[in-house]
């Protein structure tokens, strides 16, 4: 997860689009309509999308190719930050992209600032699908002038808190999810519960990583973070950022963090070896926990409410780079993958919560319980959260700023800087990353 590459500098305007590709986009497809023609589509994702996974097992791509025998699909998967770095580089170079590229909400503003690099999905007929999503989700991948739509929404990330019932029992803390939710109505109460935990179970930690907690608190605070809606860098003047920082520092000073970097091997191992008892838990994290903790973790995890109310972490889009191939076939696949039916399947297996709002009153969603998570009623928990979700504006270089700030939080976590010194450094590093 290198932060040395500044994404804002990588996104050069790509003008290497042939007249044929442009014509194909405007007419609703970039390749032949011959259904007998063998075509290979590639899709670039990150993390767990639920399209083809081993644990938990699902293979929507095989299901699609069975329905379309002339189509072969190859999936390329990286961690989130390298995926978006690589995509920016490939778009700037004019080669190397997949036919479909997934983009996370924290990066979508960066990429839609260069709409000429993507197929305008309105030209493909996407306006007919608009009502599938909440207006804020649709608008996240739409240019400000309303003329170009670069992405179709996959999931959203309503937040809860996942916790290890066995570790809670060792600490003498309640294990029932309602009692646990009552344990931490605020972040101060959460930190106080953590103090009890670390005093009783010194072999583990209260939370996986200070950076994950910081980002969770930050996304609860208001309608923007590091940038205002005019894309001015406002980290130093936005009180919400400092509030999230200060609460996080309290947790670090209480020695509650396992000091792990998300999506790295030690963090992954921590789900299985009991390195931490709680983790901020967007819906997609449920499937991630199951994949990493494995059979040994079955029934040991549960889901409670989040301190301080709801929030959102994550949610992505499927886009079609203009320099990709087979625009029509890629669009058809993207529409199928983001349909309500497929989003529901993904949720039921891996936990990614649907962005298709028509599902939010369906018993197949609201009544769904996750057996692995101690039969937690995750459908209703995350529906309640999703209905309360409000958009948080993230500027074009939000991803780079986030990584810079996270690095400075880790300095405090590792005992290499004081909170005050790291904050001043974060203001400087954030400003550099914003440019």
Inform me whether the pLDDT recorded for 305 exceeds 70.
yes
Which tens digits make up the pLDDT trace of 36-57?
A: 789 999 999 998 899 999 888 9
pTM: 0.83
Write down the domain spans for the chain. 7-156+314-369, 159-312+391-434
Domain boundaries 7-156+314-369, corresponding CATH code: 3.40.190.10
Residue 376 is predicted with a pLDDT of 97
Residue 272 is predicted with a pLDDT of 94
Tokens in use for 395? 């500027």
d(CA 115, CA 196): 51
Domain boundaries 159-312+391-434, corresponding CATH code: 3.40.190.10
Inform me whether the pLDDT recorded for 74 exceeds 80.
yes
Tell me what the mean pLDDT of segment 385-396 comes to. 87
Classify residue 196 as exposed, middle or buried by CB count within 10 Å of its CB (0-12, 13-18, 19+): middle
Residue 14 is predicted with a pLDDT of 31
Residue 13 is predicted with a pLDDT of 30
Residue 367 is predicted with a pLDDT of 97
Inform me whether the pLDDT recorded for 196 exceeds 70.
yes
According to DSSP, the β-strands at 316-319 and 100-104 are antiparallel
Residue 31 is predicted with a pLDDT of 44
DSSP-assigned states of every residue in 331-400:
HHHHHHHTSHHHHHHHHHHH-PEE-BGGGTT-HHHHT--BTTTTTB-HHHHHHHHHHH----B--TTHHH
d(CA 75, CA 42): 6
Which tens digits make up the pLDDT trace of 243-268?
A: 999 999 999 999 999 999 998 999 99
Residue 34 is predicted with a pLDDT of 54
Residue 24 is predicted with a pLDDT of 35
- On the question of a common fold for 7-156+314-369 and 159-312+391-434, the answer reads yes
Mean pLDDT taken over the chain: 90
Which tens digits make up the pLDDT trace of 165-195?
A: 999 999 999 999 999 999 999 999 999 999 9
Tokens in use for 334? 């993207």
């Amino acid at each position: 997860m290198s932060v040395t590459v500044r994404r804002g500098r990588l996104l050069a305007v790509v003008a290497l689009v042939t007249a044929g590709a442009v014509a194909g986009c405007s007419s609703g497809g970039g390749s032949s309509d011959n259904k007998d023609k063998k075509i290979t589509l590639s899709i670039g994702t990150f993390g767990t999308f639920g399209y083809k996974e081993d644990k938990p097992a699902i293979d929507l791509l095989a299901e699609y190719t069975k329905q379309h025998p002339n189509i072969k699909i190859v999936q390329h998967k990286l961690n989130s930050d390298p995926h978006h770095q690589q995509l920016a580089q490939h778009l700037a170079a004019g080669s190397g992209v997949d036919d479909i590229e997934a983009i996370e909400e924290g990066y979508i503003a960066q990429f839609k600032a260069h709409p000429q690099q993507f197929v305008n999905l309105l030209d493909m007929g996407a306006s007919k699908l608009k009502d599938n999503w909440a207006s804020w989700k649709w608008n996240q991948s739409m240019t400000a002038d309303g003329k170009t739509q670069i992405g179709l929404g996959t999931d959203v990330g309503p937040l809860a808190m996942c916790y290890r019932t066995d570790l809670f029992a060792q600490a003498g803390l309640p294990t029932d999810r309602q009692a646990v939710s009552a344990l931490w109505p605020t972040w101060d109460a959460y930190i106080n519960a953590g103090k009890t935990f670390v005093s009783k179970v010194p072999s583990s930690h209260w939370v996986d990583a200070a950076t994950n907690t910081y980002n969770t608190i930050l996304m609860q605070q208001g309608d923007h973070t590091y940038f205002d809606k005019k894309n001015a860098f406002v980290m130093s003047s936005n009180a919400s950022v400092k509030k999230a920082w200060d609460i996080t520092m309290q947790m670090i000073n209480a020695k509650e963090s396992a000091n792990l970097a998300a999506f790295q091997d030690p963090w992954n191992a921590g789900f299985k070896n009991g390195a931490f008892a709680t983790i901020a838990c967007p819906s997609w994290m449920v499937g991630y926990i199951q994949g990493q903790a494995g059979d040994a973790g079955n029934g040991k995890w549960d889901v409670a409410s989040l301190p301080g109310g709801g929030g959102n972490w994550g949610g992505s889009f499927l886009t079609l780079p203009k320099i990709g191939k087979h625009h029509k076939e890629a669009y058809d696949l993207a529409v199928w993958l983001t349909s309500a039916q497929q989003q529901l399947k993904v949720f039921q297996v891996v936990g990614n919560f649907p962005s298709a709002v028509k599902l939010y009153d369906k018993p197949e969603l609201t009544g769904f319980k996750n057996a692995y998570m101690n039969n937690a009623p995750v459908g209703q928990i995350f529906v309640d959260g999703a209905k309360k979700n409000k958009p948080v504006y993230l500027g074009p270089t939000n991803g780079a700023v986030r990584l810079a700030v996270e690095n400075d939080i880790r300095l405090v976590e590792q005992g290499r800087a004081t909170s005050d010194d790291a904050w001043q450094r974060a203001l400087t590093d954030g400003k550099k990353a914003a440019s």
